[in-house]
């Protein structure tokens, strides 16, 4: 049940609470974003897909590419893991509340400010990190938090210039000052208090072999100023990552309401391999390595008029690129834009779908609504 309390005083935050059932068995972090499980079907009477089972509006799950268009809200507190699911309280979009983050924040003003959008990545699902499209699942920072060695947000490297190398029993990640950020040279900082969140990465051999495993990894030690180690072999890759305290930091945010943002994901393009993006939302692309031939994706028609889809580069892809085919896409000047190449961190494109009207079966069209640096044909 939703409680929207109008009697707020002083410094109390505006929190719109709702009691829901979390369908998973994992722990939930405070400020973690969650999505509705709208198409769930049980086995009892009245629970099949053909029945109007009202509970579907109260079931939530960890964000993924299958529920990213049904954002529910943010966990009001941390919950320990419980087999079979549990009742929890979420704070619905429109609240001013604590949001779990992984990247630096600048408090909102009329001329600046950071937007954080909930991730669907397996390594940090539910955490609000890279800014993406506005709407449900995005939040505006009401608190400044810098990247600080030894701090809650200790280190960020998103351009693919960090590297990893496995030598049993550990994997060493190398990037200038990453070890210092996790405590090297400071006896007051325990490096095991930090976690490395790997978002992606591939080998520089030409993107054909190793692909980094997205996950949340504990730092084992900080052996030098420019290296740290973890206990898992993610591959010898040019890696995209960030490092945070294992307390999982939160900041105060104004959470956005309105249309679905579609959340955000990070993908790793790979030579001659089709890497499909999720429906709607924002897709970020790892870089920092060479591909012999293009990695491709096909953008299907949108589900409804006005649906937005965005792509953005994080690092440079050399020789070949990530290429999106959007049949019928039209550029801002009226020309064709059906083939879109994302090359590096200066590249982004925002597309809007229009033209689908019931009961017409006529295919709609993707229109370019914002673009920088990409090549289109």
Question: Any idea where the domains of the chain sit in the sequence?
Answer: 153-245, 268-376
Question: What pLDDT score was predicted for residue 44?
Answer: 65
Question: What pLDDT score was predicted for residue 304?
Answer: 83
- Phi, psi (5° rounding) for residue 323? -120, 125
Question: What pLDDT score was predicted for residue 318?
Answer: 92
Of 123, 189, 124, the closest CA to residue 154 belongs to 189
Of 14, 196, 194, the closest CA to residue 98 belongs to 14
Residue 370 CA neighbour count, 13 Å, CB half = 12
Give, for 197, the enclosing helix (H) or strand (E).
Answer: strand 194-202
Where the chain has pLDDT below 70, the residues are 1-11, 41-46, 204-209, 356-363
pTM (2 d.p.): 0.92
Burial of 302 per CB tally in 10 Å (0-12, 13-18, 19+): buried
Give, for 181, the enclosing helix (H) or strand (E).
Answer: helix 178-181
Question: Class of the 268-376 domain?
Answer: mainly beta
The structure tokens listed for 131 are: 């800014």
Residue 198 CA neighbour count, 13 Å, CB half = 28
- Phi, psi (5° rounding) for residue 43? -110, -5
CB-based contact 91:78 (threshold 8 Å): no
Question: What pLDDT score was predicted for residue 56?
Answer: 76
Q: pLDDT digit string (tens) for 162-198?
A: 999 999 999 999 999 999 999 998 888 899 999 999 9
């Amino acid at each position: 049940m939703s409680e929207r309390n109008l009697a707020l005083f002083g410094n109390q935050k505006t929190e719109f609470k709702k009691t829901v059932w979390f369908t998973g068995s994992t722990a939930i972090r405070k400020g973690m974003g969650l999505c509705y499980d709208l198409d769930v079907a049980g086995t009892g009477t009245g629970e099949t897909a053909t029945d109007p089972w009202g509970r579907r509006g109260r079931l939530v799950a960890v964000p993924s590419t299958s529920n990213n268009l049904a954002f529910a809200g943010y966990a009001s507190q941390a919950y320990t893991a419980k087999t079979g699911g549990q009742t929890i309280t979420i704070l619905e979009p429109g609240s001013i509340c604590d949001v779990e983050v992984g990247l630096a924040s600048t408090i909102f003003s009329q001329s600046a400010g950071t937007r954080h959008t909930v991730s669907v990545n397996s390594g940090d699902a539910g955490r609000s990190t890279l800014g993406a499209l506005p709407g449900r699942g995005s939040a505006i920072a009401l608190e400044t938090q810098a990247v600080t060695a030894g701090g809650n947000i200790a280190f960020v490297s998103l351009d693919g210039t960090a590297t990893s190398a496995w030598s049993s029993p550990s994997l060493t990640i190398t990037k200038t000052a990453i070890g210092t950020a996790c405590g090297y040279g400071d006896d007051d900082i325990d490096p095991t208090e930090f976690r490395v969140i790997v978002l992606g990465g591939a080998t520089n051999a030409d993107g054909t072999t190793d692909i980094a495993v997205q996950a949340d990894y504990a730092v084992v030690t900080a052996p030098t100023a420019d290296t740290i180690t973890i206990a898992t072999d993610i591959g010898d890759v040019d890696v995209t990552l960030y490092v945070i305290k294992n307390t999982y930091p939160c900041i105060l945010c104004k959470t956005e309401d309105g249309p679905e943002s579609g959340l955000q994901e990070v993908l790793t393009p790979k030579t001659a391999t089709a890497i499909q993006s999720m429906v709607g939302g924002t897709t970020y692309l790892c870089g920092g390595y060479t591909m012999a031939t293009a990695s491709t994706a096909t953008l299907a028609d949108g589900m409804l008029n006005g649906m937005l889809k965005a792509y953005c580069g994080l690092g440079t892809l050399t020789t070949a690129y990530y290429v999106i085919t959007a049949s019928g896409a039209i550029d801002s000047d009226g020309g064709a834009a059906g083939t879109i190449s994302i090359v590096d961190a200066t590249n982004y494109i925002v597309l809007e779908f229009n033209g689908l009207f019931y009961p017409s079966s006529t295919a709609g069209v993707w229109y370019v609504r914002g673009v920088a640096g990409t090549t289109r044909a």
